[in-house]
Chains A and B, each alone.
Chain A
Amino acid sequence: MNTRSDVRNGAVEQAYREHWARLLALLTAQLRDLDLAEESLQDAFAAAVSTWPPVPANPPAWLLTAARRRAVDRLRRTAVAARKLPLLVVEEQPAHDDRLRLIFTCCHPALSMEARVALTLRCVGGLTTRQIARMFLVGEATMAARITRAKKKISQAGIPYRVPAGPELRERLDGVLAVLYLIFTEGYAATEGDELIRDEPATEAIALARLLVSLLPDDSEVRALQALMMLHHARRHARVTSDGRLVTLAEQDRTLWRHDEIEEALGLLIPGPPGPYLLQAAIAAEHTSAARAEDTDWVAIAALYGMLEELTGSAVVRLNRAVAVAEAAGAAEGLALLEGLETELPHHHLLPATRAELLRRLGRAEEAVAEYGRALALVGTQQEREFLLSRRTETERRLCP
């Protein structure tokens, strides 16, 4: 049986999850002040915790009224009251794109990338400062300061609360997608720490992408980003063994993949101009649609990487393309593509790790051992370190039988 406080907390939590971003967007639209809107909405949720149950018939309406009342109280105490109070009197219909405006505000290019990530998680995702700090492995005080600074900049620099129009939209939308993918990447391959995959950022990034798809349903790149993240995330249970060791794609137990999620992700892809996310999603889709590792269509994947490299000119893409080419056409051709990448990726452990792997396949064991050593000096996570160590030991054994 549920106790009274269980019912209350459950209802408030549910309301928080479902309505936080929309209510914050609506209040920000009315108040033109993100900080004030957020504080007032927090007050409203605090009020809900102490007065529910009975849970009101329309929780978001209750919360909005409570938040508006708190905003009026706060404004009365300040000199800006005369300017902003009239905004609250107007009963605006909740506009469809309020949340979209909130996302574009949080991801404005005048803010640092760190600030954009933190603000998006806080304001659109509704995460607490403590949760965001934990996600990015920084102290809560550091993250609180980062968020406060960002909000201050929004009001003091006059960062608009608006979705840009015309050609500017595409450019700014790319920035929004980059923020979401950055959040995801932090969870998919943690850059430091003992855990290789952390679910929280990945789940949050997918939820944010889902929201963005619901707001911009016709954009093939937005849909492709959600699909791409879901395709990666669907493999999470197969990527690490129960004792925490990294499993390569080829060695993964494909029955552990979440095939329901893969199905949903593939359904999201629609034809469109070949943007970076559509191409990456197409590559991930090639991997997930192979029943066994040896069924993978490496020729198609190498071709997709070729298009992606042409589009982005990225050294990391070239590294991945080299791996695909090695599978499709042989290790020697892959190795050739790695030439000269050191200058662009001097601290990337995957470059020497890949070169080591290809040299090993070509029987050049001595050179491979040296490259494993270089990779080990650069690697950041424990799981990858162990993987590289075991590969090096295995290769050394071949040298001295």
Chain B
Amino acid sequence: MKYALLLYGNEKLWDQATPEQADQTRVAHERFIAMLNERGAFLGGDALARSREALTLRKKAGQVLRTDGPYVETVEHLGGFYLIEAADLDEAIGYAKACPEQIVEVRPVVEYEE
């Protein structure tokens, strides 16, 4: 099954990170990706730009309303994602535990029958 690991964090803390800390995080993610690749579990993923770069379109009754920022105002922001392949939820949770981020949402990807 495919799972999305959605990585959340506090943007203020990310912005305050020293270059050294940012470097450590980058290395940790590189190691994580290498581990996923070794097990054939890595399907994709990327870091996302800060939420101030986001814009949201709301479509209602033919009208399109554009607002700046992410969909909801929260302290934790979606900062990146991985798309992985795992045998079941337990395996996906295992990968999520190994992921170097504080908050990781595990979401099964809907697979449509062909």
Contacts and interface: CB of A to CB of B under 8 A. Distances in A.
Contacts of A159: 88-90
A57 B15 CA distance: 73
Of A80, A156, A162, A164, most buried by chain B (CB within 10 Å of CB) is A156
A212 B91 CA distance: 25
B53 interface: no
B114 A160 contact: no
A160 B113 contact: no
B110 interface: yes
Interface in A145-179: 156-160, 162, 164, 168
A77 B87 CA distance: 26
B88 A160 contact: yes
A150 to B, nearest CB: 14
A80 B113 contact: yes
Interface in B22-76: none
B108 interface: yes
Interface in A113-161: 156-160
Interface in B59-114: 86-93, 108, 110, 113-114
A79 B114 contact: yes
B110 A158 contact: no
A168 B90 CA distance: 10
Contacts of B90: 159-160, 162, 164, 168
Nearest to A164: B90
A157 B114 contact: no
B1 interface: yes
Interface string B1-35: 10100000000000000000000000000000000
Q: Is the interface of A mostly helix, strand, loop or mixed?
A: loop
Interface string A86-120: 00000000000000000000001010000000000
Nearest to A160: B88
Nearest to A110: B89
A206 to B, nearest CB: 29
A91 to B, nearest CB: 24
A159 B87 CA distance: 10
Nearest to B110: A156
Contacts of A160: 87-91
A168 B91 CA distance: 12
Interface of A: 79-80, 108, 110, 156-160, 162, 164, 168
Interface of B: 1, 3, 86-93, 108, 110, 113-114
Report the 4 A-B pairs with minimum CB-CB distance, sorted nearest first: A160-B88, A158-B1, A158-B88, A158-B89
Given A80-B113, A156-B108, A160-B88, 16 more contacts: A79-B114, A110-B89, A110-B93, A156-B110, A158-B86, A158-B87, A158-B89, A158-B108, A159-B89, A159-B90, A160-B89, A160-B90, A160-B91, A162-B88, A164-B90, A168-B90
